[in-house]
Chain A
């Protein structure tokens, strides 16, 4: 049976589905009785969504126009 420190170390890998079967089973067993680590898992999941959501920025119109202008000038590229 693994302790909290070991489970926490593997939480993101667990969420990524990147753990080998025995490690995944060990994390799941730990989560079955450790409420605090369940909170860690929920938070790690939240944090992943937050990172994907908040780091995004649409391309501004003026930047898009300038980059398209680059494509228009490709004939001059050697």
Chain B
């Protein structure tokens, strides 16, 4: 039988977790795709075990985010044992904008670049994100999808700011290149019949 104090702690945790669930799930979806539900569940259990160490209730959302990001990173590492940095030479100075202009995938379009993006549904974008190495996907998602400041991401990932900025730069370039490769692979480079 839980004591009154335990019941109160559980209730406080429940209020925080339930309020944050939609945000945590969305974040996990982008970080680990189909494993999102399991990742959120792991994170909730870990968080509950350490809830009494949370000193400031206002820090709850950021604290839950940090736990979830760590769970997702562990899962990513377990899947790909050797996350490796991609050198800037490999990424090159790929420009999706120029690639679309040069290859002209929709020759009869006046809005070539926007038409390119319109070929992608949400599932396609998530599929492209899933192809990015975890090292680049995590900061990219945290900054551009969830709106964290780069300094906050550095704190969350316990990495120097310069490292986060370099990974963001490479991650953006890789994302652009992978969008193009995915479009080629999935036959999206054809103008839809309007």
Which A residues are closer than 8 A to B by beta carbons?
5, 8-9, 12-13, 16, 18, 39-40, 43-44, 46-48, 50-52, 54-59, 63-64, 66-68, 70-71, 74-75, 77-78
In the bound complex, CA of A58 to CA of B25 (Å): 8
User: How many pairs of A and B residues are in contact by the CB < 8 Å rule?
Assistant: 101
Q: Is B21 an interface residue (CB 8 A)?
A: yes
Q: Is B183 an interface residue (CB 8 A)?
A: no
Q: List 8 A-B contacts (CB under 8 A).
A: A16-B150, A40-B97, A50-B117, A51-B145, A55-B30, A55-B145, A64-B22, A75-B2
Instruction: Give every chain A residue within 8 A of B169 (Cβ-Cβ).
Output: 12-13
Docked-complex contact B22 and A51, CB < 8 angstroms: no
- Between A51, A52, A67, A70, the greatest number of chain B beta carbons within 10 A of the residue's beta carbon is seen for A51
Interface of B is mostly: helix
Interface of A is mostly: helix
Instruction: Give every chain B residue within 8 A of A58 (Cβ-Cβ).
Output: 22, 26
Docked-complex contact B44 and A70, CB < 8 angstroms: yes
Docked-complex contact A43 and B97, CB < 8 angstroms: yes
Q: Is B193 an interface residue (CB 8 A)?
A: no
Q: Is B93 an interface residue (CB 8 A)?
A: yes
Q: Is B75 an interface residue (CB 8 A)?
A: no
Docked-complex contact B14 and A59, CB < 8 angstroms: no
Docked-complex contact A44 and B125, CB < 8 angstroms: no
Interface size class of B (residues with CB under 8 A): 35 or more
Q: Given A12-B172, A54-B120, A56-B26 in contact, is the A71-B93 Cβ separation under 8 Å? A: no
14 extra interface residue pairs, beta carbon distance < 8 Å, beyond A18-B150, A54-B125: A12-B172, A39-B97, A46-B113, A46-B117, A50-B117, A51-B125, A51-B175, A55-B126, A56-B26, A66-B41, A67-B44, A70-B41, A71-B18, A75-B2
Of A44, A57, A75, the residue contacting B97 (CB under 8 A) is A44
In the bound complex, CA of A14 to CA of B176 (Å): 17
Q: Is B10 an interface residue (CB 8 A)?
A: yes
Q: Given A5-B93, A13-B169, A43-B96 in contact, is the A52-B145 Cβ separation under 8 Å? A: yes
Q: Is B106 an interface residue (CB 8 A)?
A: no
Instruction: Give every chain B residue within 8 A of A47 (Cβ-Cβ).
Output: 96, 117, 176
In the bound complex, CA of A72 to CA of B172 (Å): 40
Q: Is B67 an interface residue (CB 8 A)?
A: no
Q: Given A44-B97, A46-B113, A56-B26 in contact, is the A70-B45 Cβ separation under 8 Å? A: yes
Q: Given A67-B25, A67-B44, A71-B44 in contact, is the A55-B93 Cβ separation under 8 Å? A: no
Docked-complex contact B93 and A59, CB < 8 angstroms: no
